[in-house]
Amino acid sequence: MHKHTIDNFQSGLVWFRRDLRLHDQHALFLALKHCKEVYCVFVFDTDILDTLPREDRRVEFIQESILNLDTHLKNTAQSNDVRIITLHGSAVQEIPDIAKLLGVQAVFTNHDDEPAALKRDALIRGKLAAQGASYFDFKDHVIFERSEVLTQTGKPYGVFTPYKNAWLKKVSETDLQSFDIKPYKSNFAVLKAAHRQRLKASVHTLEELGFQRTNLKELGVHTGIDGGKFLFKDFLKRMDLYHETRNFPGVKGPSYLGVHLRFGTVSIRELARTALEKANAGSEGASIWLSELIWRDFYAQILHHHPRVVTQSFKPEYDLIQWEDDKAAKKLFAAWCDAQTGFPVVDAAMRQINSTGYMHNRLRMVVASFLVKDLGIDWRWGEAYFAKHLLDFDLSSNNGGWQWASSSGCDAQPYFRIFNPVSQSERFDPKGTFIHRYLPELRNLSPAALHAPWTAKPVELLSADVQLGKNYPLPIVDHAKAREKTLMRYSVIKSTKTK
């Protein structure tokens, strides 16, 4: 974290981004502490929104979360005249403009370490400086960031376990303490009448942003601060069993807080503090879940130190691999995207992401391994597909996960470890609970045949009303042959290491 010396100001602006909450929000806390009047703003940034499909669950999640934030703001300030200002345009233009309009002396925000965000923030910092306004940014999205956890020789970690050990050794009460805004809640600013005329009177609707409703409501996705609180409370009852349940997609095992961590509707400090306390009290489930939170920090610092991973393999020699990219490969990729691979666990998982924007973590590994090591397709294709469809998409974690699956990343599984989709299915969805949910056309198959329908006897397929190649696809690849091909494909790595 930058060590800022913050003066006291008459008025300041808090720019909300990946931190859509009021409680334990670092930038908001410091703005309220150092400014007599604090305005709150969120920019629906066209530089990001213009690249998205018109039906995007994330935009709807954000819009609903901003509405919820607005309600909490009025309640906290105990005034209907205190609200979040929403703007629709390029943040590079909008933030300096709103700072000028409101006459604030400083803008406060929290770090966003994605490469595009860093460029954007540098431009905004420069424009504000030209206007005579200060720009302050803080750590809020992770527990440790950037160069806070380094090896004894001062280098960034490239392997998770030593990083985790160093993280656990370093973490203190101070790192996990909450930023309480209650003592300063009278410092929220009320918009002056002249500003009210110039600014929109309420939060932008999806339609005003040029987006359409998705199936978020039907899916029962909990949005905003209230949604995050509800899910965390629900998970607390199950956290102790997390180590036993987390790998089974047919069971309610995960916290489902990924999207809330992504948009900051929950506090990472509160989550990590709770997990650490429970882990220290002997909860194995809490200890394993804390590891998941530490993975998040790990991948964020990898992106910070190695921004090239956005387009290149973390291990450069893996970019020598020759991936399939002809017409046949594009056809195979389309079958993977459309849940038409003929491998039920892969197809059920792809139906899950396509219809809900969520995919169970175990299945993320299975479908990634299948795309890269069964179909021989570049991990970047899969990463981009997830980036477009995942509600909880986060660049550093998504990139880290895909590079892990393709063995090209830091601390990745060795390239010769290739998931067998059938045995993964048998092991983690033994009764086919998950497969039945997303592939109802296979519901009459016996558990033995469900994981590999092509092995079923014709009479069973007939009585189960499964017609391979008609109402359910034949496998698009032979796993055993694909495995041999993958080992050949990856042999270029071995040859670079022996040189």
CATH code, domain carrying 322: 1.10.579.10
Please report the pLDDT score of residue 190 as a whole number. 94
3-class SS string, the chain: CCCCCCCCEEEEEEEECCCCCCCCCHHHHHHHHHEEEEEEEEEEEHHHHCCCCCCCHHHHHHHHHHHHHHHHHHHHHCCCCCCEEEEEECHHHHHHHHHHHHCCCEEEEECCCCHHHHHHHHHHHHHHHHCCCEEEEECCCCCCCCCCCECCCCCECCCHHHHHHHHHHHCCHHHHCCCCCHHHHHHECCCCHHHHHHCCCCCCCCCCCCCCCCCHHHHCCCCHHHHHHHHHHHHHCCHHHHHHHCCCCCCCCCCCCHHHHHHCCCCHHHHHHHHHHHHHCCCHHHHHHHHHHHHHHHHHHHHHHCHHHHCCCCCHHHHHCCCCCCHHHHHHHHHHHCCCCCCHHHHHHHHHHHHHCCCCHHHHHHHHHHHHHHCCCCHHHHHHHHHHHCCCCCHHHHHHHHHHHCCCCCCCCCCCCCCCHHHHHHHHCCCCHHHHHHCHHHCCCCHHHHCCHHHCCHHHHHHCCCCECCCECCCCCCHHHHHHHHHHHCHHHHHHHHC
What number of CA atoms fall less than 13 Å from residue 216's CA on the CB side?
24
CA 120/CA 156 separation, integer angstroms: 25
Same-domain pairing of 342 and 441: yes
Q: What pLDDT band is residue 1 in, cutting at 50, 70 and 90?
A: very low
pLDDT tens string 426-464:
999 999 999 999 999 999 999 999 999 999 999 999 999
Beta-ladder partners of 85: 41
Q: Give a yes or no: residue 133 inside a domain.
A: yes
**Catalytic site residue from 295, 336, 381, 404:** 295
Q: What is the pLDDT of residues 352-410, one digit of tens each?
A: 999 999 999 999 999 999 999 999 999 999 999 999 999 999 999 999 999 999 999 98
Catalytic member of 289, 336, 379, 381: 379
**Same domain flag for 10 and 108:** yes
Residue 228: which CATH number? Answer: 1.25.40.80
Distance CA 21, CA 28 (A): 9
> What does the block give as tokens for 304?
């910070």
Predicted confidence (pLDDT) at residue 3 exceeds the cutoff of 70: no
**Mean pLDDT, to the nearest integer, of 306-320?**
95
* 185 token code pair: 């809640």
Of 248, 282, 305, the last residue of a domain is 305
Residue 494: is its pLDDT beyond 90?
A: no
pTM value is: 0.95
Rounded Cα distance between 309 and 8, Å, is 40
Let me know whether 324 and 440 are in one domain.
yes
Respond yes or no: is residue 295 known to be catalytic: yes
Whether residue 354 lies in the annotated active site: no
454 as an active site residue: the answer is: no
Residue 495's pLDDT is 62
Same domain, 285 and 330: no
Position 2 confidence tier, pLDDT thresholds 50, 70, 90:
very low
Catalytic residue among 145, 323, 354, 420: 323
From 208, 292, 324, 460, the catalytic residue: 292
Do 128 and 257 share a domain, yes or no? no
The pLDDT of residue 50 is: 97
**pLDDT-derived band of residue 4, with 50, 70 and 90 as boundaries?**
low
Same domain assignment for residues 164 and 300: yes
State the CATH number of the domain containing residue 119.
Answer: 3.40.50.620
Q: Could you tell me if 287 and 411 lie in one domain?
A: no
Residue at 404 is within a domain: yes
Q: What is the mean pLDDT of residues 206-219?
A: 97
Whole-angstrom Cα distance, residue 489 to residue 492?
7
What is the band of 415 on the pLDDT scale with cuts at 50, 70, 90? confident
pLDDT reported for residue 481: 97
Q: Is residue 349 part of a domain?
A: yes
User: How does pLDDT run across 62-90, given as a tens digit for each residue?
Assistant: 999 999 999 999 999 999 889 999 999 99
**What is the rounded distance in angstroms from the CA atom of residue 377 to the CA atom of residue 453?**
24
Q: How confident is the model at residue 497 (pLDDT cuts 50, 70, 90)?
A: low
The reply to whether 284 and 158 lie within a common domain is yes
Query: What is the tally of structural domains in the chain?
Result: 3
Q: How far is residue 279's CA from residue 146's CA, in Å, rounded to a whole number?
A: 25
User: Do the beta carbons of residue 391 and residue 61 sit within 8 Å?
Assistant: yes
> Does some domain include residue 190?
no
> What pLDDT, on the 0 to 100 scale, is given for residue 197?
87
The per-residue pLDDT for range 235-252, each reduced to its tens digit, is 999 999 999 999 999 999
Which of 282, 305, 328 lies at the terminal end of a domain, its last residue? Answer: 305
Place of tokens 């691979």: 341
Average pLDDT over residues 283-311: 97
Please pick, among 361, 426, 454, 460, the residue that the annotation labels catalytic: 361
Share of the chain above pLDDT 70, in %: 98
Distances in whole angstroms, Cα of residue 316 to Cα of each of 10, 43, 69, 150, 496: 51, 37, 43, 22, 11
- Asked if residue 16 is part of any domain, the answer here is yes
Paired residues of 31 in beta bridges: none
Q: Judge if 348 and 294 occupy the same domain.
A: no
| Residue 25 resides in a domain | yes
Task: Express each pLDDT in 150-185 by its tens digit.
Answer: 999 999 999 999 999 999 999 999 999 999 999 999
pLDDT of 410: 86
The tens digit of pLDDT for each residue in 93-147 reads: 999 999 999 999 999 999 999 999 999 999 999 999 999 999 999 999 999 999 9
Average confidence score pLDDT of the chain: 96
| Known catalytic residue at 402 | yes
Q: Residue 126 sits in which domain range?
A: 1-140
Categorize the per-residue pLDDT at 479 as very low, low, confident or very high, splitting at 50, 70 and 90.
very high
280 domain-assigned: yes
Of 280, 305, 330, which marks where a domain is finished?
305
Q: Are residues 295 and 387 in the same domain?
A: no
Same domain, 149 and 129: no
CA distance 8 to 115: 31
200: its two tokens? 């929109």
Active site residue 323: yes
In a domain, residue 253? The reply is yes
Residues 111 and 170 in one domain: no
Per-residue pLDDT at 499: 47
